[in-house]
Amino acid sequence: MTAIATRRPAFRWHIVVFLAPAVLVYTAVMILPLFATLQQSLYREVDNQTVFVGLDNFRTLLGDPRWSSSFWNALWNNCWFFIVHMALQNPIGIALAALLSHPKLRFASVYRTAIFVPTILSFVIVGFVWKLILSPLWGVAPSLLDLVGLKVLFEPWLGDETYALTALSLISVWQFVGIPMMLIYAALLSIPNEVLEAAECDGITGIAQFWKIKLPLILPSIGIVSVLTFVGNFNAFDLIYVAQGALAGPNGSTDILGTFLYRTFFGFQLQVGDPNMGAAVASVMFLIILAGVSLYLFGIQTRLRRYQF
């Protein structure tokens, strides 16, 4: 008996103590609700009783014209929201980071601090500031455009179905450009000087050096930035809610999945809230995000070559 007891180390309770608080809170408040939500999407309230209905809620969501038109509208708007971010936020962020990472640039930290300021502001502030600036009533945007002689171009963009979503996407780009800038900046700083000096010896300098040497080296960081943008965009809600309200007007033209989920779950004006349909919307969002993240992890990240210095 004693031989066995000495061979087998004592149970290390301290590991449990160290892990328990984090695992408990995380499981109870994040993981279990997530699965409970997924599960609820398979049930429906019928005569005050919860019945299992399989994939019926999803069929309603994707097929029933009362639901599906809003759903596809929100999904497409959300894709456009993401496309604008990928096309503008990340390239601008990379360009700013490339400029900032120049070793002899003065005031780099001042620029960096200033450009990151919008990112720390709350959506309430951001949404309202831009509503004021773009408001025809106050006239800041028209008079700014007048300075460059483009006043004729001004329109109340946020009130126009054609432009409202793009305008909001641009506002969101303005707010979050600091994140790609910071992450890419860090990646650029970690490129060793020897590599850049070797490039210079071969006559590769300036912009050519950025395209041929630096860009391939920071591709993994660009991948991470893209997936963070994807997750952030497909779970966005606040900016639209603050600027256009839960109805995501004008006429639903700025409705994205986050606002659609909010309205489905809580109801709005004449529509009654429906937790089970809300759970179905949340599950679809979960699947979209899961698909995007897996595509990145298994399809893209494994193919990106990481350079170890």
Partner 1 sequence: MSRATSSLPRTIAAHTILIAYTAIALFPVLLIVVNAFKTRKAIFRAPMALPDAESFSLEGFRTVLSQGDFTAYFQNSLIVTVVSIALVLLFGAMAAFALSEYRFRGSRLTGLYLALGIMIPIRLGTIAILQEMVATGLVNTLTALILVYTAQGLPLSVFILSEFMSQVSDDLKNAGRIDGLSEYRIFFRLVLPLVRPAMATVAVFTMIPIWNDLWFPLILAPSEATKTVTLGAQMFIGQFVTNWNAVLAALSLAIVPVMILYLLFSRQLIRGITSGAVK
In the complex with partner 1, which residue's Cβ is closer, 104 or 303?
104
- The least CB distance from residue 69 to partner 1, in Å, is 23
Measured in residues, the chain has a length of 309
**Cα atoms in the 13 Å half-sphere on the side-chain side of 151:** 9
By CB under 8 A, the residues from 154 to 173 that bind partner 1 are none
Distance CA 279, CA 22 (A): 26
Across the strands, what pairs with 52?
43
Closest CA to 129 of 239, 217, 26, 208: 239
Q: Which of 172, 221, 244, 254 binds partner 1 (CB under 8 A)?
A: 221
Is residue 183 a contact residue for partner 1 (CB under 8 A)? yes
Q: Which is nearer to partner 1, 103 or 149 (CB)?
A: 103
For 43, the 3-state DSSP assignment is strand
Q: How far apart are CA 129 and CA 260, in angstroms?
A: 24
How many Å from the N-terminal Cα to the C-terminal Cα in the chain? 53
**Interaction with partner 1 in 261-300: which residues (CB under 8 A)?**
261, 265-266, 275, 278-279, 282-283, 285-286, 289-290, 293
One-character DSSP codes across 162-174: TTHHHHHHHHHHH
> Which member of 121, 150, 198, 295 binds partner 1 (CB under 8 A)?
121
Comparison of 116 and 163: residue with beta carbon closer to partner 1: 116
Smaller CB distance to partner 1: residue 162 or 290? 290
Cα distances from 85 to residues 30, 228, 249, in angstroms, run 28, 11, 21
Give min distance, CB of 135 to partner 1, in A.
Answer: 10
- Distance CA(221)–CA(231), nearest Å, equals 15
Verify binding: residue 301, partner 1, rule CB under 8 A.
Answer: no
Q: How far is the CB of 114 from partner 1 (least distance, A)?
A: 5
Phi-psi region of 255 (alpha: psi -120 to 50; beta: other; left: phi over 0): beta
Shortest spacing between CB 270 and partner 1, in angstroms: 20
Residue 172: CB atoms within 10 A of its CB come to: 27
Positions 23 through 52 that interact with partner 1 (CB under 8 A): 23, 25-26, 28-34, 36-37, 40
149: alpha, beta or left, given left = phi > 0 and alpha = psi -120 to 50?
A: left
Q: Does 198 bind partner 1 (CB under 8 A)?
A: no
Burial environment of residue 207 by CB neighbours within 10 A (0 to 12, 13 to 18, 19 or more):
exposed
Does residue 205 belong to the site contacting partner 1 (CB under 8 A)? yes
213 lies in the site for partner 1, by CB under 8 A? no
Q: How far apart are CA 185 and CA 192, in angstroms?
A: 14
Q: Which of 53, 145, 191, 231 binds partner 1 (CB under 8 A)?
A: 231
190 binds partner 1 (CB under 8 A): yes
Position among 1, 3, 5, 15 found at the interface with partner 1 (CB under 8 A): 15
The answer to whether 125 contacts partner 1 (rule: CB under 8 A) is yes
Binders of partner 1 among residues 49 to 88 (CB under 8 A) are none
Counting residues that bind partner 1 (by CB under 8 A) gives: 91
Query: Which residue number, 1 or 147, has a Cβ lying nearer to partner 1?
Result: 147
Structure tokens at 144: 């700014």
